[in-house]
């Protein structure tokens, strides 16, 4: 009989990790954990709130902060190995390599969750926005033979220079990518690349959206909830009206 994993404590995590892990909201011990990864130049705090509002059944929430600070006066963080400017947009390039972030996630997943607390890979889920989505996809691609619970990436496809590593072929972790109908960084070629890299990859285009972003309506949020529900085996326990609540605060 499988044992229930334990909720990680501060001493279980890498000392450098900045995170929020809200206490469980139900008496049933969680058997899944959702790791939330914010976008470029953001903080982790708002994502902890989002994770709680998703109210996935039997699922703990772990919002983590990117390990690298941006060289600007405001407090802002990024997941990349370097700060690279995109000449075509005048902004920062999100696809900046993720070696340090891979190491951080390995410390969380391998040492803390699996090693000390008894979590299995199948019960570990990811949600990433923008560069956070890139970093989450990069991490699971570095372990193609491991089947994590799944990755939802909002506004980001697979990193351009990363392939599924090893001899196992396509990555086994299921992926859902949410993108704007027009003007998205996730191009048709990017959709094809996801299909080449992952056994199970789906791209949802948000109708009427002209740029990528977070979920703003019930219709945009619903595919995310359905994806997690399918992988969790059930969506029982999601509170009535939760879709409207989350969509209203995730924009």
Q: Tell me how far apart the alpha carbons of residues 239 and 216 are, in angstroms, rounded to a whole number.
A: 18
* Inside any domain, residue 241: yes
* Inside any domain, residue 4: no
* Inside any domain, residue 20: yes
pLDDT of residue 68: 86
pLDDT of residue 102: 94
* Inside any domain, residue 6: no
* Inside any domain, residue 57: yes
* Inside any domain, residue 2: no
pLDDT of residue 46: 82
Residues of the chain with pLDDT under 70: 1-2, 82-96, 163-168, 233-251
The domain spanning residue 114 has which CATH number? 3.40.50.1820
* Inside any domain, residue 161: yes
pLDDT of residue 22: 92
Split into its structural domains, the chain has a count of 1
Range of the structural domain that residue 118 is part of: 11-249
* Inside any domain, residue 5: no
Quick: pLDDT tens for 44-96.
Answer: 988 888 888 888 888 999 999 999 888 777 888 889 876 665 555 545 556 66
């Amino acid at each position: 009989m499988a044992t229930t994993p334990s909720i990680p404590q501060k001493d279980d995590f890498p000392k450098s990790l900045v995170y929020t892990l809200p206490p469980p909201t139900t008496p049933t011990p969680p058997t899944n954990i959702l790791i939330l990864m914010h976008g470029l130049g953001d903080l982790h705090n708002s994502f902890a709130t989002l994770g709680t509002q998703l109210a996935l059944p039997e699922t703990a929430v772990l919002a983590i902060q990117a390990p690298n600070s941006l060289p600007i006066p405001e407090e802002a963080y990024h997941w990349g190995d370097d700060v690279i400017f995109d000449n075509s947009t005048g902004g920062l390039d999100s696809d900046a390599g993720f070696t340090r972030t891979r190491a951080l996630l390995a410390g969380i997943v391998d040492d803390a969750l699996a090693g000390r607390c008894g979590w299995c890979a199948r019960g570990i889920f990811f949600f990433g926005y923008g560069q956070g989505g890139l970093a989450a996809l990069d991490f699971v691609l570095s372990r193609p033979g491991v089947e994590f619970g799944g990755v939802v990436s909002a506004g980001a496809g697979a990193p351009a220079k990363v392939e599924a590593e090893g001899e196992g072929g396509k990555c086994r972790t299921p992926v859902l990518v949410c993108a704007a109908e027009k003007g998205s960084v996730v191009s048709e070629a990017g959709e094809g690349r996801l299909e080449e890299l992952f056994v199970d990859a789906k791209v949802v285009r948000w109708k009427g959206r002209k740029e990528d972003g977070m979920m703003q309506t019930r219709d945009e949020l619903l595919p995310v909830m359905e994806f997690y529900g399918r992988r969790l085996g059930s969506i029982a326990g999601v509170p009535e009206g939760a879709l409207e609540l989350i969509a209203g605060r995730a924009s």
